[in-house]
Amino acid sequence: MFEIKAKDGLGRIGILSLEKKKVETPTLMPVINPNKIVIAPKDMEKYGAEMIITNSYIIYRTQKLKEAAIEKGIHKMLDYKGIIETDSGSFQMAAYGDIEIENKEILQFQKDIGVDIGTFLDIPTHPDESHKKTFSDLEITLERAREAIEFDLNLNGTIQGGTHLDLRKKSTEEMNKLPFTVNPIGGVVPLMMEYKFSELVDIILTVKGNLSSSRPVHLFGAGHPMLLSLSVLLGCDLFDSAAYVLYAQDLRYLTSYGTKKLNEMKYLPCNCPVCRRYTAQELINENEQKRLELLSSHNLYATFEEIKIIKEAIHEGTLFELVESRIRGHPRLLLAYRRIKDYYGVLEKYDPFTKRSSIFYTGEESNLRPIVKRTKERIRDIKSKKYDEHLFFGKFPKELEFTYPFGQCEMEEERKDKGDPELNDEDIVKVIADYQFGPNVGNKLFHDVVVKRSKTGMIRYVFDQNGVMLATLRARDGLFTPNIEGLRRLKEIIPFPKYRIIVDDEAARFIKDGANVFSKFVLDIDENLRAYEEVLIVDSNDNLLGTGTLMLAPIEVKEFERGMAVRTRWGIEKNSIQESQLEY
């Protein structure tokens, strides 16, 4: 089972649960070569690894390892208690053309040795292959996938199709029909080796545009920290890395902005235990095996540090900013990022409506973010008494100058002349309501209001003439949190089913008292909503139950069986707040 805890772009922090074991994503699986272990699996925890990946085909073909795995199980053989995923031999098939094992045989072996996630024997077609050959290979892969689900085992359903996007789409649609635990994107290592990142972006977004959002995505063979943030932004959750060892064998030093050659370095720009203890020259002077271990250790530390940076960026809502800094590490990454303009529809429906942090403009690529086009479309039909020019969004209603994203945007030039004496508070709150809840809502929602400002002079509360609070204007993003009375008004103003999430009767009585809404209890949802918007919670008869923050995109609410859909702020049976209860 998989659930989302936070999101930005297509990136998400999630929890993948496998029986009693759990792993937080995005994460990296260090590759363990059972014939040549450089860093022991039991030591992987200190780097941040919660799961590892090894090759079941190598174990199967090595008699000593095979006997040990069958006798002890894979976890005891490797001395690792965490989640172990295994590949099936497809990589060897890609490298050598064929392998001496059948699909059912390798699946049964993985089951017998107790792996946590197994892989069937898919065909990893080279990106340069013709459409005809790729289609033929894909048909075999799909046949083997259908064969694989007969096994009682958590499985990878690897999506193939080469660089032929129609075949990637077909593969994804077929994998959607089968109950796989994870869907890796396979056959992309040659693209990464040749820096063909634009083709990689096309493949990832074609898959994400057609795959159930409830499926974790593993980008097979991706383990260089330079590529991770972009891959997460595009919706990949799991990565595997043999690079930490392979690069170390060639005296290559991994960083989040590229690869350096150790014998050309004077300083080590890292603060991991290896780089704190050694200088570049001291590493070079070590014996070959010791140097391999130390450099592999650094490469793992650097990779997991980047994973942590990515997670924090998702939490803050700054993943686009992080990616736009990382893509400048290589011209081909910059070119690849520009491909997202062709996938606006895929990105926009998942990207949250508001975020914790301000938007930072980093260059012309910032204009490719879905929030730019979405915001321009959202203000198109809003009527204003006065307009202003925004360096990012162009002409906009001046009443929105402190509302996200207009007021939470850092550009190369600071906006001047904030505030306008020609605009009264009632005009401002009405236009904000139009932006947040739809054109023409503001006049009806706030037709009889008293607006109160905080000690800092910012609009904070909106009351009716009797002192009952209708809404609070959040300081963080300048958007409204409706109170119970405001909620009732919105429900009457906005026609069904807009701005609503509809829950079943089993959950309704708990939500009235303020319980959160979980995806499995949702009957329907307005598909035009976006994550982190304020929503109306109703039952199947449109009876009002409460309000709260939508935590997922509508498509995710429908496709996930687990996790919170709405963090409920108010249940309808909670008391409204009176003005006398507040401090200014």
Integer-rounded Cα radius of gyration of the chain: 27
Tell me how far apart the alpha carbons of residues 409 and 367 are, in angstroms, rounded to a whole number.
13
Tell me how far apart the alpha carbons of residues 418 and 402 are, in angstroms, rounded to a whole number.
9
- Residues in CB range of 393: below 8 A, 6 or more apart: 372, 375, 376, 379, 405, 406, 409
Residue type, 420: D
Buried b (16+ CB within 10 A) or exposed e, 191-211: bbeeebbbbbbbbbbbbbbbb
Upper half-sphere CA count for residue 494 (Cβ side, 13 Å): 27
Contact 405, 421 (CB under 8 A): no
Pairing of strands 459-464, 258-261: unpaired
Instruction: For the chain, 584 residues long, give each residue's pLDDT as a single digit of tens.
Output: 899 999 999 999 999 999 899 999 999 999 999 999 999 999 999 999 999 999 999 999 999 999 999 999 999 999 999 999 999 877 666 555 667 789 999 999 999 999 999 999 999 999 999 999 999 999 999 999 999 999 999 999 999 999 999 999 999 999 999 999 999 999 999 999 999 999 999 999 999 999 999 999 999 999 999 999 999 999 999 999 899 999 999 999 999 999 999 999 999 999 999 999 999 999 999 999 999 999 999 999 999 999 999 999 999 999 999 999 999 999 999 999 999 999 999 999 999 999 999 999 999 999 999 999 999 999 999 999 999 999 889 999 999 999 999 999 887 666 566 677 789 999 999 999 999 999 999 999 999 999 999 988 899 999 999 999 999 999 999 999 999 999 999 999 999 999 999 999 989 999 999 999 999 999 999 999 999 999 999 999 999 999 999 999 999 999 998 899 999 998 988 654 444 444 44
Pure H helices in 410-515: 425-437, 441-445, 484-493, 505-512
Tell me how far apart the alpha carbons of residues 334 and 559 are, in angstroms, rounded to a whole number.
33
322's tokens: 């992080």
- Looking at the chain, which residues constitute the CATH 3.20.20.105 domain(s)? 26-338
Tell me how far apart the alpha carbons of residues 489 and 494 are, in angstroms, rounded to a whole number.
9
Q: Where are the beta strands (DSSP E) in 331-484?
A: 359-360, 387-390, 394-397, 409-410, 449-453, 459-464, 469-473, 480-482
Choose among 555, 534, 532: nearest CA to 354. 532
- Residue in the block written with tokens 């499926």: 215
| CATH class given for the domain over 26-338 | alpha beta
Helix (H, G, I), strand (E, B) or coil at 242: coil
> Which residue numbers are catalytic?
87
- Looking at the chain, which residues constitute the CATH 3.90.1020.10 domain(s)? 341-410
Prediction pTM value: 0.95
Phi, psi dihedrals of residue 37, rounded to the nearest 5°: -85, 120
| CATH class given for the domain over 341-410 | alpha beta
| CATH class given for the domain over 425-581 | mainly beta
- Looking at the chain, which residues constitute the CATH 2.30.130.10 domain(s)? 425-581
Helix (H, G, I), strand (E, B) or coil at 517: strand
